C-alpha cells in the first residue's frame, strides 16, 4: 500500500490549517486594535466637544486674549480633522502621525490658555469654568487609558504579524504592514492631564 498520497494530503491539510489559524489570529488582533482606537475616538470627541465650551466661558473674562482663544479653537479643529482621518483607517501610519501632531498642537495651545487663565481670578473662581475643567481633566485621563489600551493592542498585533509563521504569509493574507503606535511629540501632554487650576 502506498502511503505517499496520504502523507502529502496530511501535509497539505496541516499547511491549510496553519494558514487559516494564522489568518484568523491576525484578523482578531487587527479588529482588537481597531476597537481600541474607537475607544480613543470616543474620548477625544468628548474632549473636542468640551473645548468650545471652555473657550466660550473664558471669552467674557479674557476679552484681551482673543489670539489665544482662537489658537485653541484652531488647534482643536486641526486635531479633530486628524482624528477623523485616523478613525477611517487606524492602521494607517500617516493618519496616526497626523493625529499625533494635531494632539500635540492642541496640548500646546491649551497649555498657553491655562497659563493665561492664572491672570484672571474671577474666571478661575467661576463655577462653570471649574466644572468644565474637571470634565476636561477626567477626559484627559480617559484618553490616556484608551491610548495605552490601543498601543498594547497594536503591539500585540505587530508581534503576531512579525512572528513565525505569520511573517511568511502575512502579506499574502492582507496584513502587509505593521500598525502604528499612537504617540505624542509632547508625551506628557496626554499622560499627565493638563493642569487647569481654579
- Residue 31 corresponds to which cell in the numbers above? 479588529
Grade residue 190 by pLDDT with cuts at 50, 70 and 90: very low
Domains of the chain with bracketed CATH: 22-191 (1.20.1440.20)
**pLDDT tens-digit profile of 14-26?**
999 999 999 999 9
In tens, the pLDDT along 119-169 reads 887 777 788 888 888 888 889 899 999 999 999 999 999 999 988 888 888
- pLDDT over threshold 70, residue 187: no
| Overall pTM surpassing 0.85 (yes/no) | no
Structure confidence by residue, pLDDT tens digits, 28-78: 999 999 999 999 999 999 999 999 988 888 887 777 778 888 899 999 999
**Which is nearest to 182 in space by CA: 172, 191, 173?**
191
* DSSP character string of 110-134: HHHHHHHHTT-HHHHH-HHHHHHHH
Residue 193 confidence (pLDDT) above 70: no
pLDDT given for residue 185 in this prediction:
62
Distance CA 184, CA 190 (A): 8
Alpha-carbon torsion (37, 39, 44, 45), positive or negative: positive
Q: Which residue has the higher pLDDT, 148 or 174?
A: 148
Asked whether the beta carbons of 10 and 99 are under 8 A apart, the reply is no
Amino acid at each position: 500500500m502506498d502511503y505517499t498520497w496520504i502523507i502529502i494530503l496530511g501535509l497539505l491539510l496541516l499547511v491549510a490549517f496553519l494558514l487559516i489559524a494564522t489568518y484568523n489570529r491576525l484578523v482578531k488582533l487587527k479588529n482588537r486594535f481597531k476597537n481600541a482606537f474607537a475607544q480613543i475616538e470616543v474620548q477625544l470627541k468628548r474632549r473636542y466637544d468640551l473645548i468650545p465650551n471652555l473657550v466660550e466661558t473664558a471669552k467674557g473674562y479674557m476679552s484681551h486674549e482673543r489670539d489665544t482663544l482662537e489658537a485653541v479653537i484652531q488647534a482643536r479643529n486641526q486635531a479633530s480633522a486628524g482624528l477623523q482621518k485616523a478613525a477611517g483607517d487606524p492602521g494607517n501610519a500617516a493618519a496616526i502621525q497626523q493625529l499625533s501632531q494635531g494632539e500635540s498642537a492642541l496640548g500646546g495651545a491649551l497649555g498657553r490658555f491655562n497659563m493665561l487663565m492664572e491672570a484672571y481670578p474671577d474666571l478661575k473662581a467661576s463655577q462653570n469654568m471649574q466644572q468644565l475643567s474637571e470634565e476636561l481633566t477626567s477626559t484627559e485621563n480617559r484618553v490616556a487609558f484608551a491610548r495605552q489600551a490601543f498601543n498594547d493592542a497594536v503591539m500585540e498585533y505587530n508581534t503576531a504579524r512579525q512572528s513565525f509563521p505569520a511573517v511568511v504569509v502575512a502579506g499574502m493574507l492582507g496584513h502587509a504592514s505593521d500598525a502604528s503606535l499612537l504617540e505624542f511629540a509632547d508625551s506628557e501632554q496626554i499622560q499627565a492631564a493638563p493642569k487647569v487650576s481654579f
